[in-house]
Amino acid sequence: MTTETVEKEKTNLTLATEESEPKRQKKVFAPRADIFESKEQIVVLADMPGVNQNSLDITLERNVLTIHGVTQSRPAALDGYKLSYAEYGYGDFRRVFTLSSEIDRDGIEATVKDGVLKLVLPKSPRALPRKIPITAD
């Protein structure tokens, strides 16, 4: 086999692999999140620019909460300008959290506004502090 034949076969192999596998167009980022806790609940705020309620998927399986947001398009550029610096990369978002048994799974709420996801994770009643009554013997 000549070097030219080997290179040609490598090229054919690469092309076949690229055609048989789906092409990935966007990067996937882990959104930055702030987590707040009170006696009654935990609140998670996740930055997901370009994501809205129709492009967001939140699933809970066993104790794993998965957030997946799809950005629809690159942010619009200003007319007459070119981008010099960007804080955020362009792509989709995915983040996974493991929940403790202290979370009331049926009470979880999610809202999204202006690219910020707000998750409210209420604590289950058995995890909340309570006063133990004392009786005389």
The size of the chain, in residues, is 137
Residue-level pLDDT at 110: 96
Q: Does residue 96 lie in a domain region?
A: yes
Q: Does residue 19 lie in a domain region?
A: no
pLDDT tens figures, 80-122: 888 888 776 678 899 999 998 899 999 999 999 998 999 999 9
Q: Does residue 7 lie in a domain region?
A: no
Q: Does residue 95 lie in a domain region?
A: yes
| Of 21 and 70, more confident | 70
Segment 38-50 mean pLDDT: 92
- Cα torsion 120, 123, 129, 135 to 10°: value is 130
Number of domains in the chain: 1
Q: Of 58-62, 114-118, 129-133, give the lowest mean pLDDT range.
A: 129-133
Residue 53 belongs to what domain range? Answer: 29-74+86-129
The reported pTM is: 0.69
Segment 18-36 mean pLDDT: 72
Q: Give the chain's largest Cα–Cα span.
A: 97
Band of the pLDDT at 21, cuts 50, 70, 90?
very low
What residues form DSSP beta bridges with 58? 67
Q: Does residue 9 lie in a domain region?
A: no
CATH of the domain at 90: 2.60.40.790
Q: Does residue 13 lie in a domain region?
A: no
Mean of per-residue pLDDT scores for the chain: 80
Is pLDDT above 80 for 128? no
CA distances from 43 to 121, 128, 129, 134 (A): 6, 16, 18, 34
Q: Does residue 104 lie in a domain region?
A: yes
Q: Any idea what the Cα angle at residue 1 is, between residues 5 and 16, rounded to 5°?
A: 40
Is pLDDT above 50 for 24? yes
Q: Does residue 70 lie in a domain region?
A: yes
CA distances from 40 to 2, 26, 100, 136 (A): 72, 38, 14, 31
